[in-house]
Chains A and B, each alone.
Chain A
Amino acid sequence: ILNVEQSPQSLHVQEGDSTNFTCSFPSSNFYALHWYRWETAKSPEALFVMTLNGDEKKKGRISATLNTKEGYSYLYIKGSQPEDSATYLCAFGTGANNLFFGTGTRLTVIP
């Protein structure tokens, strides 16, 4: 089992604040890094699939960076809104049929 760690475990931010959190993963056997957003009572939703060192992806106010050599990815949310409240999961892929998930960062945006 590969160790994928996410930090912080949870955080609360005020509406309008920008925030970021971290996913750490093994720097060897890297194939892809996936980010998901999981709102309560809904299905996890894919945000990004990142494959190249130095990759930056953006979707609206959410963006992510990837450093495969040191084994980390950052997810940024600019101008947080209450609807951004969710658990953000990252998952590490080796090119095999499964992903290794972190335990997630639970974000609460306070109106």
Chain B
Amino acid sequence: GAVVSQHPSRVICKSGTSVKIECRSLDFQATTMFWYRQFPKQSLMLMATSNEGSKATYEQGVEKDKFLINHASLTLSTLTVTSAHPEDSSFYICSALGPAGGETQYFGPGTRLLVL
């Protein structure tokens, strides 16, 4: 089946630094990927839609200059949290639409970010 990976699985950084999270579709091409954020015991909130070769579409309330998204290839999207602060600590999950424009979104294993 379709597999999506994320790297790193967890990261701890100091306040003010930037962190890059990678999302890869391992065995299929994904023109569209999504980035979500999940706080403990809460649901997933869509942050942005990442489209290969074009600018990401951000949800209302998500700062595009803080959460930089790059989808440079059909198998890789990156999320960079710039100048991270403790309130950015969260579980970040990416997903990709399945092969051949399928309806199912396949989720990565998530990246747990802790900002000290």
Please say whether chains A and B are actual partners in one complex: no
Partner-B contacts on A (CB < 8 A)? none
